[in-house]
Amino acid sequence: MIFKKKKIKTYKDLKLLATPEENFINLVYILNLLKNLEHFVFFGTLLGLVRDNSLIENDDDIDIYVNINERAKLIKILQDNSILVDFNLSVNKHDSFLQVIRKINNKNAIIDFYFFEDSLDKNYLIEKWNWCALPDDSSKHLRIPKIFTHPIQTLEVKSYKINFPSQPEYLCEFLYGKNWRKKLSKENDYINKVIDGKPVVFSFRTNIFGKKKIIL
Protein backbone atom coordinates (compact mmCIF):
# COMPACT_ATOMS: atom_id res chain seq x y z
CA MET A 1 0.00 0.00 0.00
CA ILE A 2 1.33 3.44 -0.94
CA PHE A 3 0.68 6.32 1.43
CA LYS A 4 0.69 9.83 0.03
CA LYS A 5 2.61 12.45 1.95
CA LYS A 6 0.20 14.92 3.49
CA LYS A 7 0.39 18.31 1.80
CA ILE A 8 0.79 21.15 4.26
CA LYS A 9 -0.76 24.59 3.81
CA THR A 10 1.59 26.35 6.19
CA TYR A 11 4.81 25.41 7.96
CA LYS A 12 2.90 25.74 11.23
CA ASP A 13 1.39 22.34 10.39
CA LEU A 14 4.83 20.81 11.00
CA LYS A 15 5.98 19.31 14.26
CA LEU A 16 9.11 20.18 16.25
CA LEU A 17 8.78 23.96 16.07
CA ALA A 18 11.59 26.13 17.38
CA THR A 19 11.65 27.43 20.95
CA PRO A 20 11.54 31.20 21.66
CA GLU A 21 15.30 31.11 22.26
CA GLU A 22 15.89 29.40 18.90
CA ASN A 23 13.49 31.80 17.20
CA PHE A 24 15.48 34.72 18.59
CA ILE A 25 18.66 33.24 17.08
CA ASN A 26 16.74 32.97 13.82
CA LEU A 27 15.50 36.56 14.11
CA VAL A 28 19.03 37.92 14.52
CA TYR A 29 20.24 35.92 11.53
CA ILE A 30 17.36 36.95 9.26
CA LEU A 31 17.50 40.63 10.21
CA ASN A 32 21.18 40.72 9.39
CA LEU A 33 20.29 39.56 5.87
CA LEU A 34 17.69 42.33 5.59
CA LYS A 35 19.91 45.19 6.77
CA ASN A 36 19.68 47.00 3.41
CA LEU A 37 15.91 46.57 3.06
CA GLU A 38 13.12 48.67 4.58
CA HIS A 39 11.83 46.43 7.35
CA PHE A 40 10.93 46.22 11.04
CA VAL A 41 9.58 43.69 13.52
CA PHE A 42 5.82 43.49 13.92
CA PHE A 43 2.87 41.62 15.47
CA GLY A 44 3.84 39.07 18.17
CA THR A 45 7.57 39.60 17.67
CA LEU A 46 7.17 43.33 18.30
CA LEU A 47 4.88 42.72 21.27
CA GLY A 48 7.29 40.32 22.95
CA LEU A 49 10.38 42.46 22.42
CA VAL A 50 8.68 45.66 23.66
CA ARG A 51 6.85 44.11 26.60
CA ASP A 52 9.27 41.40 27.73
CA ASN A 53 12.56 42.18 25.98
CA SER A 54 12.29 38.65 24.53
CA LEU A 55 10.06 36.62 22.24
CA ILE A 56 6.70 35.43 23.54
CA GLU A 57 6.62 31.99 25.09
CA ASN A 58 4.84 29.49 22.82
CA ASP A 59 4.92 31.86 19.84
CA ASP A 60 5.65 29.65 16.85
CA ASP A 61 7.26 32.13 14.46
CA ILE A 62 8.84 35.54 13.96
CA ASP A 63 6.98 38.37 12.24
CA ILE A 64 8.65 40.95 10.01
CA TYR A 65 7.18 43.81 7.97
CA VAL A 66 8.89 44.54 4.63
CA ASN A 67 8.18 47.20 2.01
CA ILE A 68 6.41 45.44 -0.87
CA ASN A 69 8.64 47.30 -3.35
CA GLU A 70 11.52 45.21 -2.00
CA ARG A 71 9.80 41.85 -2.17
CA ALA A 72 11.85 40.63 -5.14
CA LYS A 73 15.08 41.70 -3.41
CA LEU A 74 14.03 39.85 -0.26
CA ILE A 75 13.33 36.64 -2.17
CA LYS A 76 16.71 36.82 -3.91
CA ILE A 77 18.50 37.40 -0.60
CA LEU A 78 16.77 34.38 0.93
CA GLN A 79 17.57 32.17 -2.03
CA ASP A 80 21.18 33.37 -2.18
CA ASN A 81 21.51 32.26 1.45
CA SER A 82 20.10 28.78 0.77
CA ILE A 83 16.70 29.50 2.32
CA LEU A 84 14.00 27.70 0.38
CA VAL A 85 11.17 29.91 -0.90
CA ASP A 86 8.35 27.48 -1.67
CA PHE A 87 5.73 29.12 -3.88
CA ASN A 88 3.71 25.89 -3.84
CA LEU A 89 2.90 26.47 -0.18
CA SER A 90 -0.72 27.61 0.03
CA VAL A 91 0.05 30.70 2.12
CA ASN A 92 2.67 31.80 -0.42
CA LYS A 93 0.24 32.12 -3.32
CA HIS A 94 -0.34 35.85 -2.75
CA ASP A 95 2.33 38.54 -2.99
CA SER A 96 1.23 40.20 0.27
CA PHE A 97 2.74 37.44 2.42
CA LEU A 98 5.67 35.04 2.43
CA GLN A 99 6.49 32.23 4.84
CA VAL A 100 9.88 30.51 4.91
CA ILE A 101 11.60 28.11 7.26
CA ARG A 102 15.08 27.39 8.60
CA LYS A 103 16.37 24.48 10.64
CA ILE A 104 17.87 25.29 14.03
CA ASN A 105 18.92 22.37 16.22
CA ASN A 106 16.83 20.14 13.92
CA LYS A 107 13.74 22.20 14.74
CA ASN A 108 11.58 24.25 12.39
CA ALA A 109 12.11 27.99 12.77
CA ILE A 110 9.38 29.84 10.86
CA ILE A 111 9.63 33.38 9.47
CA ASP A 112 6.50 35.25 8.38
CA PHE A 113 7.04 38.24 6.09
CA TYR A 114 4.17 40.71 5.69
CA PHE A 115 4.46 43.22 2.87
CA PHE A 116 3.22 46.76 3.36
CA GLU A 117 2.60 49.62 0.96
CA ASP A 118 1.77 53.30 1.35
CA SER A 119 -1.81 54.53 1.18
CA LEU A 120 -2.59 57.02 -1.58
CA ASP A 121 -2.36 59.93 0.87
CA LYS A 122 0.92 58.54 2.30
CA ASN A 123 -0.45 58.77 5.85
CA TYR A 124 -1.02 55.04 6.37
CA LEU A 125 0.64 51.74 5.69
CA ILE A 126 -1.65 49.21 4.03
CA GLU A 127 -0.95 45.57 4.86
CA LYS A 128 -3.25 43.02 3.25
CA TRP A 129 -2.53 39.72 5.02
CA ASN A 130 -2.36 40.34 8.81
CA TRP A 131 -4.37 38.03 11.12
CA CYS A 132 -7.23 37.61 8.68
CA ALA A 133 -5.30 36.20 5.69
CA LEU A 134 -7.92 37.65 3.33
CA PRO A 135 -5.80 39.79 0.98
CA ASP A 136 -8.54 40.17 -1.64
CA ASP A 137 -11.02 41.67 0.84
CA SER A 138 -10.18 45.38 1.17
CA SER A 139 -12.17 45.68 4.42
CA LYS A 140 -9.68 43.26 5.99
CA HIS A 141 -6.61 45.23 4.96
CA LEU A 142 -4.87 46.64 8.02
CA ARG A 143 -4.44 50.43 7.89
CA ILE A 144 -1.66 51.55 10.20
CA PRO A 145 -1.02 55.24 10.89
CA LYS A 146 2.43 55.90 9.49
CA ILE A 147 3.24 58.12 12.46
CA PHE A 148 3.45 54.86 14.48
CA THR A 149 5.91 53.20 12.11
CA HIS A 150 8.15 55.80 10.47
CA PRO A 151 10.88 56.78 10.66
CA ILE A 152 12.09 53.29 11.45
CA GLN A 153 14.49 53.18 14.39
CA THR A 154 17.22 50.74 15.37
CA LEU A 155 17.28 49.60 19.00
CA GLU A 156 19.46 47.15 20.90
CA VAL A 157 17.94 43.97 22.30
CA LYS A 158 20.33 41.66 24.14
CA SER A 159 23.22 43.54 22.43
CA TYR A 160 21.77 42.93 18.95
CA LYS A 161 20.57 45.77 16.72
CA ILE A 162 16.97 45.33 15.58
CA ASN A 163 14.74 47.56 13.45
CA PHE A 164 11.63 48.79 15.28
CA PRO A 165 8.76 51.04 14.24
CA SER A 166 9.05 54.65 15.42
CA GLN A 167 6.46 54.37 18.21
CA PRO A 168 6.55 50.75 19.39
CA GLU A 169 4.47 51.17 22.55
CA TYR A 170 1.72 53.17 20.83
CA LEU A 171 1.72 50.60 18.04
CA CYS A 172 1.36 47.71 20.50
CA GLU A 173 -1.68 49.41 22.03
CA PHE A 174 -3.08 50.11 18.55
CA LEU A 175 -2.75 46.42 17.62
CA TYR A 176 -3.50 44.67 20.92
CA GLY A 177 -5.61 47.13 22.89
CA LYS A 178 -5.18 48.81 26.26
CA ASN A 179 -4.29 45.51 27.96
CA TRP A 180 -1.30 44.85 25.71
CA ARG A 181 1.11 44.80 28.65
CA LYS A 182 -0.70 41.82 30.21
CA LYS A 183 0.57 38.36 29.28
CA LEU A 184 -2.47 36.84 27.64
CA SER A 185 -2.77 33.74 25.49
CA LYS A 186 -3.80 34.29 21.87
CA GLU A 187 -6.78 32.12 20.88
CA ASN A 188 -7.43 31.27 24.54
CA ASP A 189 -7.77 34.77 26.05
CA TYR A 190 -8.30 36.88 22.93
CA ILE A 191 -8.37 36.98 19.15
CA ASN A 192 -7.46 39.75 16.73
CA LYS A 193 -9.60 40.80 13.79
CA VAL A 194 -9.57 43.63 11.27
CA ILE A 195 -12.81 45.51 10.72
CA ASP A 196 -12.89 48.24 8.06
CA GLY A 197 -9.12 48.55 8.20
CA LYS A 198 -8.86 48.85 11.98
CA PRO A 199 -7.52 46.23 14.42
CA VAL A 200 -10.10 44.98 16.90
CA VAL A 201 -9.37 42.79 19.92
CA PHE A 202 -12.04 40.35 21.06
CA SER A 203 -11.56 38.92 24.56
CA PHE A 204 -12.89 35.62 25.84
CA ARG A 205 -14.74 35.36 29.13
CA THR A 206 -15.67 31.99 30.60
CA ASN A 207 -19.16 31.78 32.12
CA ILE A 208 -20.24 29.65 35.09
CA PHE A 209 -20.91 26.73 32.74
CA GLY A 210 -17.34 26.75 31.45
CA LYS A 211 -18.25 28.12 28.04
CA LYS A 212 -16.33 30.97 26.46
CA LYS A 213 -18.10 34.17 25.49
CA ILE A 214 -16.57 36.72 23.11
CA ILE A 215 -16.56 40.33 24.35
CA LEU A 216 -15.07 43.54 22.99
pLDDT digits 0-9 by tens, 89-115: 999 999 999 999 999 999 999 999 999
What are the pLDDT digits (tens) for 32-49? Answer: 999 999 999 999 999 999
DSSP label of 186: B
Using the predicted structure, report yes or no on whether residue 1 has a pLDDT greater than 50.
no
Range of weakest confidence among 9-13, 22-26, 118-122: 9-13
Give me the residues paired with residue 155 across strands. 162
Q: How far apart are CA 3 and CA 145, in angstroms?
A: 50
The predicted model scores a pTM of 0.93
- Rounded to 5°, the CA angle 82-78-104 comes to 60
Whether 197 and 139 have beta carbons less than 8 Å apart is answered as yes
Q: Domain extents for the chain?
A: 11-177
Q: How far apart are CA 39 and CA 66, in angstroms?
A: 4
What angle do the packed helices 168-176 and 43-52 form, to 10 degrees? 120
- Give the chain's count of helices (H) and strands (E): 4, 11
Fold of the CATH domain 11-177? Beta Polymerase; domain 2 (3.30.460)
Residue 107: how many other CB atoms lie within 10 Å? 16
Whether 96 and 114 have beta carbons less than 8 Å apart is answered as yes
Q: Provide mean pLDDT across the span 166-191.
A: 95
CA contacts within 13 A on the Cβ side of 30:
31
Peptide bond before 165: cis, by omega within 30 degrees of 0? no
